[in-house]
Amino acid sequence: MGFKARHYSEIRADEVTQEDVKGIKIRWLIAKSDGAPNFAMRYFEMAPGGFSPHHSHKWEHEVFVLDGDCIVVCGNEQKQVGPGWVVFIPPGAMHQFKNSGNEVLKFLCLVPHHE
């Protein structure tokens, strides 16, 4: 569990199968199993029409949008974002990500390790 250097596409994409989710695949680019002591880097692909759950949890999200168009909902705010945008969702905030375009939305979302 030491140095890792891989192209993201070599890392397996898993369909997210929760009920309140549509069209999302996740790749765990850097995970606890790689020896990462504190936080994980995940790569998301969201199909047109796709969305993440409108939910909250006690950990934060640190997001960087790579490709596509996205509406981010956080608390009472809503923001249209795209490639090169950075998004911070604080712990405990209700939030949702929705693909608002016609292309696959691609973004990184990092979280601290949690159960």
Footprint on this chain of its own copies (rule: CB under 8 A) = 1-9, 11, 29-30, 34-39, 41, 43, 60, 62, 64, 66, 72, 74-75, 77, 79, 81, 84-91, 93, 108, 110, 112
Residue 39 Cβ vs its own copies, minimum distance, rounded to whole Å: 5
Query: How is residue 61 written in tokens?
Result: 């999200």
Tokens 């292309």 identify what position? Answer: 103
Nearer residue to its own copies within complex by CB, 24 or 65: 65
If we measure between CA atoms, which residue out of 91, 106, 81 comes closest to residue 9? 106
Q: Do 95 and 76 contact (CB within 8 A), yes or no?
A: no
Nearer residue to its own copies within complex by CB, 19 or 105: 105
Residue 26 Cβ vs its own copies, minimum distance, rounded to whole Å: 14
Q: How far apart are CA 109 and CA 62, in angstroms?
A: 6
Residues paired with 58 in a beta bridge:
none
Residue 19 Cβ vs its own copies, minimum distance, rounded to whole Å: 25
